Amino acid sequence: MKFQFTAIALGCTALLAACGGGGGGDTGSLAQAISFNFPGGGMVGIPPNVTTTKLVATASGGGAVTFESKTPTTCTVSGDVLSLLKAGECQVVAHQAGGNGFAAASQSQLFVIPKQPQKITFRNPGTLPLDTTPVQLVATSNIAGKTVAFKSTTPNVCTVSGTTMTKVANGMCTITATAGDDIYDDGTVVRNIPIGTATADALTFLSGYKDGSTTNEQGGLGGSGYTSENGWWCNGLCTTKVDPAANTFMFDFTATLPTAPDGRWIGAGFDMYALAPTLSDLAKGADTNAGTRIDAQAAIKFNFAQNSEWFASSNNKVDVKLILGHHAFVGTDNKDCNVTLQSVFTPTSASPTAYSIGLREFTIVESCGLTGLDPWFELQDYPISKIDFAADAANISVPLSGTTTTFRTRGTLTGPITFQ
- Mean pLDDT over 69-79 rounds to 97
Backbone angles phi, psi at 379, to 5 degrees: -65, -30
pLDDT at 256 over 80: no
Domains and CATH numbers, the chain: 2-113 (2.60.40.1080), 120-195 (2.60.40.1080), 204-419 (2.60.120)
CA atoms 192, 193, 194, 200: torsion sign: positive
What lies within 8 Å, CB to CB, of 140 at 6+ separation is 120, 121, 148
- Long-range contacts for 229-237 (Cβ within 8 Å, ≥24 apart)? 229/255, 229/257, 229/258, 229/260, 229/266, 230/255, 230/257, 232/269
| Per-residue pLDDT tens digits for 166-195 | 999 999 999 999 998 889 998 899 999 999
CA atoms 193, 196, 198, 201: torsion sign: positive
Report the C-alpha gap between 139 and 184 in whole angstroms: 16
In single-letter form, the type of residue at position 15 comes to L
pTM: 0.79
DSSP alpha helix (H) spans, 126-240: none
The predicted pLDDT at position 178 comes to 95
| Per-residue pLDDT tens digits for 332-353 | 999 999 999 999 999 999 999 9
* Paired strand residues for 107: 94
| Per-residue pLDDT tens digits for 307-316 | 988 898 888 9
Report the C-alpha gap between 387 and 383 in whole angstroms: 11
| Per-residue pLDDT tens digits for 378-398 | 999 999 999 999 998 765 544
Q: Are 271 and 310 in contact (CB under 8 A)?
A: no
Give the Cβ contact number of residue 259 at 10 Å.
16
What lies within 8 Å, CB to CB, of 340 at 6+ separation is 321, 322, 323, 324, 364, 365, 366
| Per-residue pLDDT tens digits for 120-165 | 999 999 999 999 999 999 999 999 989 999 999 999 999 999 999 9
| CA dihedral angle for residue 84, residue 86, residue 87, residue 90, rounded to 10 degrees | -50
Bridge-based pairing state of the strands 268-275 and 221-227: antiparallel
Out of 20-24, 402-406, 412-416, which region has the weakest mean confidence (pLDDT)? 20-24
Backbone angles phi, psi at 141, to 5 degrees: -110, 150
pLDDT at 13 over 70: no
